Amino acid sequence: LAYFSESADFTIKLQPHEEDFSIAGELEFMVCNDEMCLPPTYEDFNATVTGAPVPSIWKGMGTTFWLGFLGGFAALIMPCIFPMIPLTVSFFTKQSKTKAEGIVKASIYGTGIIVIYVGLGLLVTLLFGADSLNKMATNPWFNLAFFALFVVFAASFFGAFEITLPSSWVNKADDASNKGGMVGIFFMAFTLSLVSFSCTGPIIGSLLVKAASGGSLLGPAVGMFGFALALAIPFTLFAAFPGWLNSLPSSGGWLNTVKVTLGFLELAFALKFLSTADMVMQWHLLERELFLAIWVAIAFATAFYLLGAFRMPLDSPAQSIGVSRLFIALTFLIMGFYMLPGIFGAPVKLIAGFPPP
């Protein structure tokens, strides 16, 4: 027989058959002192239990992969990588005695890119662990940190500063790439990963944050696989068909335009993490109307930027507005006008999952 004072905690192990379930029962207890006890008291109780989802290995893998693939394609047309494509492919074709040898070397190079980035995704999973990855989605402090991180990434894309790795890392990787053979080719891929970090870093960081907060154990690795695959495929294809290099557009100011446009998107997605933290903490600072108003402003700002209304620090002095740029600007204008009625309470079904309810 146990005695308790003031309060007591009782634990019972249950094996639920569903994630969310209810418990109903009756408690019997009595109050005693050193001399006597009061008659037993009976209390009915009901409780609803919401279970935390068990981390799934394959949860949302398709979406994570394609997000990574799109991120890799976006990185491919960034100023740090796009000019490297013809240079790298020409190196493999000129250093090889046969076309087949050039294709093999380019394939090893692409495989090295995939191994490097998938390894980065697995490292994130090992560092945070399954439970932490699952809790990130609703933890307010993680979401606030992710919000700040996305704002920093956006500022980097806008040209405020560059996110770079220590030059000593790049120099060591470059020295190792001169060894030749498969090891040398691998370190060439590693050097590309380091040199291009000022452009790819914000994209990689965004993908890792998105994949890690999704609650899937292999999310970061799958996201990085999609990202690396999009980077690796062009090097192999252009090595197999060198004539295709002539169809590539020349490098120029449009590469920085892509970078700035991604910065606006980073800024928009940053609000999603701030909104999650706001809802969990019940601050009510970022309600649906304000969220949509900011998104409308970002959409219009992106459109006006693409139409040449203003320039960012690293933009070329004069850029013509081509058909592709005009089409993308019109897309942002349409999205801005579509979201505008939502500020006043109208439904916006296309983006219903982003703003707070």
- CA 257/CA 320 separation, integer angstroms: 12
Rounded to 10 degrees, the C-alpha dihedral 147/148/154/155 comes to 160
Neighbours of 11 (CB within 10 A): 4
pTM of the model: 0.69
Q: According to the model, what pLDDT value does residue 196 have?
A: 80
Lookup: tokens for 306: 């693409």
Q: According to the model, what pLDDT value does residue 56 have?
A: 52
Q: According to the model, what pLDDT value does residue 293 have?
A: 96
Residue numbers of the chain with a pLDDT score lower than 70: 1-6, 15-20, 49-60, 128-138, 177-180, 212-217, 318-319
Q: According to the model, what pLDDT value does residue 339 have?
A: 95
**Which residue shows structure tokens 């999603």?**
272
Q: According to the model, what pLDDT value does residue 42 have?
A: 81
- CA 204/CA 170 separation, integer angstroms: 18
- CA 107/CA 88 separation, integer angstroms: 12
Question: Which of 280, 286, 115, 279 minimizes the C-alpha distance to 185?
Answer: 115
Q: According to the model, what pLDDT value does residue 172 have?
A: 79
Residue type, 334: I
3 state SS of 8: coil
Q: According to the model, what pLDDT value does residue 329 have?
A: 95
Question: Which of 10, 267, 280 minimizes the C-alpha distance to 141?
Answer: 280
